[in-house]
Amino acid sequence: MNPPVTSTVKPLPSGRKSEATQERLLFAAAEVLSRKGVSETRLTDIAEVAGVRAPAVYYYFASRYDLISEVMSVGQTRLREHVAAVLDSVPPETTPMERICAAVAAHLEVELELSHFATAVTRNTGQLPDGVRDRLREDSHAYSSLWRDLMDEAFAAGEIRADIDLRTARKLVIGALNWAPEWWRASEGSLADLVATTQSLVRHGLSPVAAST
């Protein structure tokens, strides 16, 4: 049984060097988790990538799962904030369906290119102990609410078929986006092609009539 998580990060040691080391450990943990997953990630792996001795990790984090919990929290926040920022930047006249497509692109971009943190979240949520999942639930609900609002707006505008269950559609779309890091490789196709294909599937799958683009 995995140990409970009671606190994520120890009080930050003073000094810029300590802050930089803690940040380096977080980035290293995100990179290792995005490649190996929770079950295969060891503190020695993280320490090696961060360029520190393994025992030094405990100077900044109380346990392996405290470090993992912090990576997941940062990853979920960056994912949600990136998608929200993209949506805030689109022109006011953008249709609800095009806003959904913008969110699709933003999600894929941040998890596949911009952040090991986001990839670590999408690849490892199912492997987390209950204590870590409890800590992440609030931010997860916030992201789900963002997508709920997007789909509700599109439905109200007549851009989503009336026979579709919106809750199921939302979970299927987010689930498909989250699964992309498990199989997508840049060597097999461009991110632009992946985004365009995903947007087309979402648009045509949700729209009441065949979309023209």
Whether 121 is covered by a domain: the verdict is yes
CB atoms within 10 A of CB 136: 18
- By C-alpha distance, which of 196, 124, 203, 200 is closest to 159? 203
Whether 76 is covered by a domain: the verdict is yes
Q: What is the mean pLDDT of residues 100-108?
A: 97
Whether 11 is covered by a domain: the verdict is no
Span of 29-43, 81-95, 122-136 with lowest mean pLDDT: 122-136
Banded model confidence at residue 35, pLDDT cuts 50, 70, 90: confident
Whether 6 is covered by a domain: the verdict is no
Whether 3 is covered by a domain: the verdict is no
Indicate the pTM of the whole model: 0.78
Tens of pLDDT, residues 137-182: 877 888 999 999 999 999 999 999 999 999 999 999 999 998 888 8
Q: What is the CATH number of the domain that holds 26?
A: 1.10.357.10
- By C-alpha distance, which of 138, 100, 93, 143 is closest to 122? 143
Whether 211 is covered by a domain: the verdict is no
Whether 56 is covered by a domain: the verdict is yes
Q: Tell me the residue range of the domain where 97 lies.
A: 16-206
Whether 213 is covered by a domain: the verdict is no
If one compares 12 and 199, the residue with the highest pLDDT of the two is 199
Domain count, the chain: 1
Tens of pLDDT, residues 58-71: 888 888 888 888 88
Q: Helix 116-124 crosses helix 64-89 at what angle (to 10 degrees)?
A: 110
Q: Helix 166-183 crosses helix 116-124 at what angle (to 10 degrees)?
A: 110
